[in-house]
Structure 1
């Protein structure tokens, strides 16, 4: 008996309808690109502002290479290019001595006010003591006192100490700090994590080590900003040299420029080519110092803004 193969039962297949397209959720439309015209306007505005700020110094440099008759011709490229003004100014005035005096005063003023302000700011930021906020308010209140109010009393103090006629009054006052710099540095110190100092204290560090090894390195941008501000203020200061200096051998550059202006400018000789040349020599150190500390300066300003 032979077995016959039986066909397998057919399984009915169901027709599968095509899947409907899934509708993607609607989101915000992409932000339109800034119009090209707006970019052109912004760049043009920046170019105009740049020219407005740079042009006076470019004119000053150009005038320093012109003869006396062409100083005010308002041409950036001199018709008669000459170096005689730079040679004459060194013969007419002790510019080298004035520059050395200015460097001496400016460096001491910058170093002393940066260190003293940092120490006071660290005390207000790190330590907790009764009356701290009230005392800090008194320090800030000193910024509201005009300098003309304390000018005579301070002069009498230096005169009683026999310091008038010397360079000491021009920088020694910075040994006691500056209210503005104290406020600036205190904001930076407050932004440092307190856990760092607690961990350092557990490792045996004292307050001075925490200040010098942790706080100061972390606030380097603020210290650079303080130093640059004070360098510029001391380098261009004219009021103090006018009050305390009498001998031309002790003059700083701003005080010397005032003498040159009286002698060669409004004094009747009208040698303005010497005045602009001395002004260029005075300005160049500030430009060099700013470019050397430009990165730290910008970081310090940006960090100050983030502190709120």
Structure 2
């Protein structure tokens, strides 16, 4: 028998590959549902952008896109109002609280994970117990302390509730427990002190957790509304959510200005998501495995 006769026909694998490449009904259904869900999620942003380009005469019309798009709302928001100051306040609060959470939560998490001392379980349980208290219940003691200390209408009054979080401490502790103790002992043998071991050896090994925590904290403080609304009365100290809410009154609601301001306020969150989306997914996956 010749070698050509023993060779399998090329038509068989071609048909098999075509059969394998054919989409399955379940996959088609899943893609369709995901596409519909994506459209539902995107439509509020499209409506916000379209409304921000309308003048007052077109705000309440049924048409989605304006007949005569205009940038007057953006010009009024960025020029005539305190929007630039509000944007700076939100950016300052979000950036400072994010840096503080990354530093203190990772340091405390490392201490709880790698050191054995009297009362360590009690300290960890006390930190975890803060997760069970709603923010609304903490507003009153925060306000009482801020008033007694003279922190109202100040940046410190906006900052101090978010400088450290129980969730971040818990998350970092779980990740630091996976760092081999042999690396820490090797660092001590090389003459590094405990802070240098944490900074130079352990932190680089928990980079995904730090990235995910930074994103969650930044977005949470960027969109915070309740505490900034209570802590400040001076319009110059407003954050973006509180400032945008001031465009609404009992007599009139400036929907065009609100939508224009919301569109500009959304840009930093979109930039953060586009640049760091892989860290968001990786951090969520790893957090689920560690917890």
Q: Normalising TM by the smaller chain, what interval?
A: 0.7 to 0.9
**Superposition map of 1:211-290 within 5 A:** 211-262=198-249, 267-290=250-273
State the 1:221 CA deviation: 1.2
Contact 1:169 1:244 (C-alpha < 8 Å) held by counterparts: yes
- Structure 1 segments, 4+ long, off by >4 Å, are 32-35
1:149 aligns with: 137
State the 1:294 CA deviation: 1.6
Contact 2:113 2:176 (C-alpha < 8 Å) held by counterparts: yes
Bigger mean CA deviation after superposition, 212-221 or 193-202: 193-202
Contact 1:64 1:276 (C-alpha < 8 Å) held by counterparts: yes
CA distance in 1, matches of 2:113, 2:85: 42
Contact 2:109 2:173 (C-alpha < 8 Å) held by counterparts: yes
CA distance in 2, matches of 1:83, 1:240: 32
Q: Does 1:183 align with 2:175?
A: no
Which of residues 77, 83, 90 in structure 2 aligns to 1:102?
Answer: 90
2:49 aligns with: 61
Q: Which has the larger radius of gyration?
A: 1
Which of residues 80, 86, 101 in structure 1 aligns to 2:74?
Answer: 86
CA distance in 1, matches of 2:50, 2:38: 18
State the 1:172 CA deviation: 2.2
**Superposition map of 1:29-68 within 5 A:** 36-68=24-56
Contact 1:63 1:72 (C-alpha < 8 Å) held by counterparts: no
Q: Number of aligned pairs?
A: 273
Bigger mean CA deviation after superposition, 270-279 or 64-73: 64-73
Under a length normalisation based on structure 1, what TM-score does the superposition of the two structures give?
Answer: 0.83
CA distance in 1, matches of 2:137, 2:47: 38
The alpha-carbon distance between structure 1 residues 74 and 223, as it changes in their structure 2 partners (threshold 3 A), is farther
Which of residues 130, 145, 164 in structure 1 aligns to 2:152?
Answer: 164
Contact 1:59 1:74 (C-alpha < 8 Å) held by counterparts: no
1:114 aligns with: 102
2:113 aligns with: 125
State the 1:194 CA deviation: 1.7
Which structure has more RCO (C-alpha within 8 Å, separation ≥ 6)? Answer: 2
CA distance in 1, matches of 2:186, 2:141: 47
Contact 2:142 2:161 (C-alpha < 8 Å) held by counterparts: no
State the 1:75 CA deviation: 3.8
CA distance in 1, matches of 2:39, 2:25: 21
Superposition RMSD in Å: 2.0
> What runs of 5+ residues in structure 1 fail to find an aligned partner?
1-31
CA distance in 2, matches of 1:184, 1:289: 21
Under a length normalisation based on structure 2, what TM-score does the superposition of the two structures give?
Answer: 0.87
State the 1:227 CA deviation: 1.2
